[in-house]
Chains A and B, each alone.
Chain A
Amino acid sequence: MRASPFPTLLTALALAGCPGGAGGIGDPCSTQGDCSSSYQCVANVCTSRCQRAPECGDGYACDPDGMCRLATGQAGDACTSEVECAPGLSCQLDNTVDSSGSLLASCTEQNIGRPASAACHVDAECRNGTCALGQCVDLCDQTRDCGSGNSCMGIPLVHTPQQENDGVVFSGCLPSFGSVVWTIPVLGPATEILLPVPAGARSATVVFSVDDVAQTVGAARVFAPSDSIVPSYTKPCTPGPGLCDELTAVDQYFSQRLRHRPEPGQSVLQIPSSGSTPLETGAYRVRVSSFRPNGTAGSAIPHVTAIMKMDTAVILDLHFYFLDLDAHPCQSSFAEQRLESASAKASSYFQTDYLGELQRIFAGGGISLGATTYEDVTNHPDLDGLAVDRAGALLSLGAHATGINVFFVRTLAPVGLQAFGPNPGPAGLGGTRQSGVIVGVDTLCYRSWPQLARLTAHEIARYIGLYHNVELEVGQHPTWRDPIDDSDDSLANLMFFSELGGIELSAGQRAILTKSAVLR
């Protein structure tokens, strides 16, 4: 399964004879004693000690002393890690469990297929016979068995269609950092899927979409691995005659342990919604469905993309897009210039008053601004002045998968709407009808750049996964607030719904932010 890094060259060097004593890298050797203590003798050549088994080549393990050890497992022998099987064999799951419920695996002839970390849909596509989270995975006992940048972690077994033993956790190699993104096949308009959450994941984002935007799409029900009878989430009822009233629907939305709402065309489920309902290792059972406007089952087959964030991060990249802002009525706020990529890059109002304030606000959340990019969108006059029901057309132009795409439009309609974006957004996914946030530049006719920065930050934080700390009606409806335990009702909070709120964030809010696939 892994190509050996010690082929012909090493053999040739070995034939040249051993120098004796403390051999350096590349010197021939016949025993370990021929090499310096910091090296090892492999295939008759002194070479660096290993840190990870893949450095030793197929059929080798890397022991705790940094020595490559040839594996001895033969076809049919039980194994738990790829490094136990001899060259040409791979450790593959048998899809059976022992008396303790652990999945069994054995050394098996390698498949003609893709190497570890390559994209896959089914096990058979992988050389080593295991496809998980959309990538070929090696079985492992410890992180030393995995390639650089990967860690050995528990991964729930999942198949499409579902099979016996799905949900049982095995140990495999997955990336330690960044995001893992893959699509989950959905076979009908209403289908149960399994979302495998590995032990190393910090957050999971599931993006549901349908081609027919007249239908809503999302999760109807979500069972966490530890849920037995009561799901973590059940879709709120649909308000309407003979269905339920608006208040009941909103109450149901706020009462869920996981916060989610199916939406037209596309919606996002992000886990966790708060620290009190943490992300669990195991297979989440998610009932995915399209819906008609009256809440009944739809006919559109959902597309599902999962994004698993494997680390916490603190760097936020911002990608600014400028629609045609020529001759804008609030032009006095940008020095009577045209606001576009070039002027934004060079002006103090944008760099200092706006970006500087954004930086200050996010610093309070423990987040640093990273790269900023600037782009003019000159060929979409239909989106220059944007009615909010066309937001999807604009946000689809948000090409960047990491960071946030921020669009500046001339006006947002209805008047008074200052910014718009999904809550939460498809973190880690660009080019979707929710891939970014929109800021109306007409706000600058009556607010300053720093104030525009605050409302931009508010909208970005909603995209990342925070909710309004309280809703306007919290006095009458005490549950209408965010699910985070330590955020209060304060107007000083960044997530206060009004443009006159502050920039404070609680520890619980900061924790949610840093788990997002938006950050790097």
Chain B
Amino acid sequence: MKQLGIAAILALAVSAAAYGDVLVLTQPVINALTPIDSVPSSTQLTGVFNGSELEALNNLRLIALSQGSVDLGVQLRAIRALPQYCQAPCATHDAHVALETIAATPRYRDARRGSDLLVLRAAIEALGVLRIPGDVVLLLSQLDHPSRDLRAATAHALRDLGNTQAIPALRARYQQEQVQQVRIAISDALRVLGQPIQ
């Protein structure tokens, strides 16, 4: 296992270029983005990026958009960490744009299973946390996704988003939803949005 761990780290220690920036994954960055039982805080992440919020944001964005050149576990945590760096006006902020990009990337948007589906779920979860009302359209497009886990995650994101425009679509989906896990997620979203199921 020790050998496995070291091999994995070597695999992660790559540079990726995007947006003209160079991504360098140092050991502390990898450690910060692979905790087992906690979610890395912005304080922790900024700390491993030399105390610079800007550097942290840029690197997290690059990792989030890395499309396979970075270990998936690292990428997932980076995506999920982006909302912590979104500053007003968040809708046009780099962190939000990166999440929108991931959700719209065909590789992820059309994923039906496997790790790409996890990336999409991470982006959807993160978009919900940002509570940008305009994201309702993007999220609603995933409410009929073939994956029950993705549908449930979308319902939770719509709940967190807090935009009542989602109510008709949530109700409609509820009427045809067969999976109890998703029905519960939708009814929870409707409850939070203040609308009883009819």
Whether the pair A385, B36 counts as a contact (CB closer than 8 A) is: no
Q: Smallest CB-CB separation from B5: which chain A residue?
A: A500
User: With a CB–CB cut-off of 8 A, which chain B residues contact A416?
Assistant: 39, 73, 76-77, 80, 122
Q: How far is the CA of A503 from the CA of B30 in the complex (A)?
A: 18
Q: Mark A412-431, 1 if CB is under 8 A from B, else 0.
A: 01111111110000000000
Asked whether A459 lies within 8 Å of B36 as measured between CB atoms, the reply is yes
**Chain B interface, number of residues (Cβ within 8 angstroms):** 49
Choose among A332, A447, A458, A497 the residue that contacts B73 (Cβ–Cβ < 8 A): A447
Q: Assuming A446-B115, A454-B1, A476-B47, is B8 touching A500 (CB within 8 A)? A: yes
Minimum distance in angstroms from B157 CB to a CB of chain A:
10
Q: For A458, what are the chain B residues with a Cβ–Cβ distance below 8 Å?
A: 36-37
Classify chain A's interface size. 35 or more
Cβ–Cβ contact A455 & B36, under 8 A: yes
Question: Do A420 and B37 contact each other (CB < 8 Å), given the known contacts A381-B180, A414-B125, A472-B31?
Answer: yes
- Give the chain B neighbours of A415 by CB distance below 8 A: 76-77, 79-80, 118, 121-122, 125
Instruction: Assess whether B36 is in contact with A419, with CB atoms less than 8 Å apart.
Output: yes
Q: In the bound complex, how far is the Cα of B38 from the Cα of A497, in angstroms?
A: 9
Q: Is the CB of B48 closer than 8 A to any CB of chain A? A: yes
Contact yes or no, B125 A502, CB < 8 A: no
Q: Is A330 an interface residue (CB 8 A)?
A: yes
Bound Cα distance from A329 to B30, whole angstroms: 25
In the complex the two chains form, is A445's CB within 8 Å of B114's CB?
yes
Name which residue of chain A comes closest to B187, CB basis: A382
Kindly report which residue of chain A lies nearest to residue B2, judged by CB atoms: A502
B112: chain A residues within 8 A (beta carbon): 329
- Chain A residues numbered 463-520 whose CB sits less than 8 Å from any CB in chain B: 472-473, 475-476, 491-492, 497-504
Q: Chain B residues with Cβ under 8 A from A497's Cβ?
A: 31, 35-38
Most-contacted residue by chain A among B35, B47, B72, B112 (CB, 10 A): B35
**With an 8 A cutoff between CB atoms, is A331 at the interface?**
yes
For window 139-177 of B, CB contacts with A under 8 Å fall at 147-149, 152-153, 156
Contact partners of B105 in chain A: CB under 8 A: none
How distant is A144 from chain B, measured CB to nearest CB, in Å? 48
User: Contacts of B37 on A, CB cut-off 8 Å?
Assistant: 417-421, 458-459, 462, 497
Residues of B within 8 A of A357 (CB): 1
Min CB distance, A254 to chain B, in Å?
A: 15
Question: What chain B residues lie within 8 Å of A446 (beta carbons)?
Answer: 71-73, 76, 115, 118
In angstroms, Cα B2 to Cα A328, docked, is 29
8 Å CB contact of A329 from B2, B114, B185 = B114
Shortest Cβ gap from A239 to chain B (Å): 12
B117 closest partner in A (C-beta): A329
Chain A contacts of B4 at CB under 8 A? 450-451
Q: Is A118 in contact with chain B by the CB < 8 A criterion? A: no
Residues of B within 8 A of A499 (CB): 34-36, 73
Collect the chain A residues with CB atoms within 8 Å of residue B149's CB. Answer: 328-329, 385, 410-411, 442
**B10-38 residues at the A interface, CB under 8 angstroms:** 28, 30-32, 34-38
Q: Are A330 and B156 in contact (CB under 8 A)?
A: no
Please tell me if the beta carbons of A413 and B125 are within 8 angstroms of each other in the complex: yes
Interface string of B90-127 (1 = CB under 8 A from A): 00000000000000000000001111011001100100
Q: Which A residues touch B73, using CB under 8 A?
A: 416, 446-447, 499
* Residues of chain B with a CB closer than 8 A to A418's CB: 36-37
Q: Is the CB of A382 within 8 A of B9?
A: no
Residues of chain A lying within 8 A (CB to CB) of residue B43: 246
| Complex-state Cα separation, A376 to B72, whole angstroms | 29
A342 within 8 Å of B (CB atoms): no
Does residue B54 face the partner (Cβ distance < 8 Å to A)? Answer: no
Q: Knowing A329-B149, A382-B181, A473-B44 touch, does A502 contact B32 (C-beta < 8 A)?
A: no
Q: In the complex the two chains form, what is the Cα distance from A462 to B36 in whole Å?
A: 12
Q: Closest B-chain residue to A364, C-beta based? A: B1
Return chain B residues, CB-CB under 8 Å to A385. Answer: 149, 152-153, 181, 185
CA distance A305 to B150 in the complex (A): 41
The answer for the CA separation of A458 and B39 in the assembled complex, in Å, is 16
CB contacts (< 8 Å) of B77 on chain A: these are: 415-416
* A475 nearest CB neighbor, chain B only: B28
Q: Residues of B contacting A413 with CB < 8 Å?
A: 125, 153, 156
| Shortest distance from the beta carbon of A343 to any chain B beta carbon, whole Å | 18
Alpha-carbon separation in the docked complex, A418 to B39 (Å): 10
Determine if B48 and A472 form an interchain contact, defined as CB atoms under 8 angstroms apart: yes
- Whether, in the assembled complex, A324 has its beta carbon less than 8 Å from a beta carbon of chain B, the answer is yes
- Determine whether B138 belongs to the interface, using a CB cutoff of 8 Å to chain A: no
Interface residues of B in 32-79 (CB under 8 A from A): 32, 34-40, 43-44, 47-48, 71-73, 76-77, 79
CB distance from A21 to the nearest CB of B (A): 69
Within 8 A of B (CB), among A400-417: 410-411, 413-417
- Counting chain A CB atoms within 10 Å of each CB, which of B28, B73, B153, B185 scores highest? B73
Residues of B within 8 A of A331 (CB): 113
A residues 310-356 with Cβ under 8 Å of B? 324, 327-332
Is B184 interfacial (CB-CB < 8 Å)? Answer: yes
Residue of A328, A418, A446, A450 with most chain B CB atoms under a 10 A cut-off: A446
Closest Cβ of chain A to B32, distance in Å, is 6
Cβ of B47 and Cβ of A473 under 8 Å apart?
Answer: yes
Extra contacts besides A381-B183, A497-B35 (17): CB < 8 Å = A381-B179, A415-B76, A415-B77, A415-B121, A420-B37, A442-B118, A445-B114, A445-B115, A446-B71, A446-B118, A450-B1, A458-B36, A462-B37, A472-B44, A491-B31, A492-B2, A503-B1
Q: List 27 A-B contacts (CB under 8 A).
A: A246-B43, A324-B181, A329-B114, A332-B113, A381-B180, A382-B184, A385-B153, A411-B149, A414-B39, A414-B125, A415-B76, A415-B77, A415-B79, A417-B38, A442-B149, A445-B118, A451-B1, A455-B36, A462-B37, A472-B40, A472-B47, A497-B36, A498-B31, A499-B34, A500-B9, A500-B34, A503-B1
Write the residues of chain B forming the contact surface with A, with a CB cutoff of 8 angstroms: 1-2, 4-5, 8-9, 28, 30-32, 34-40, 43-44, 47-48, 71-73, 76-77, 79-80, 112-115, 117-118, 121-122, 125, 147-149, 152-153, 156, 179-181, 183-185
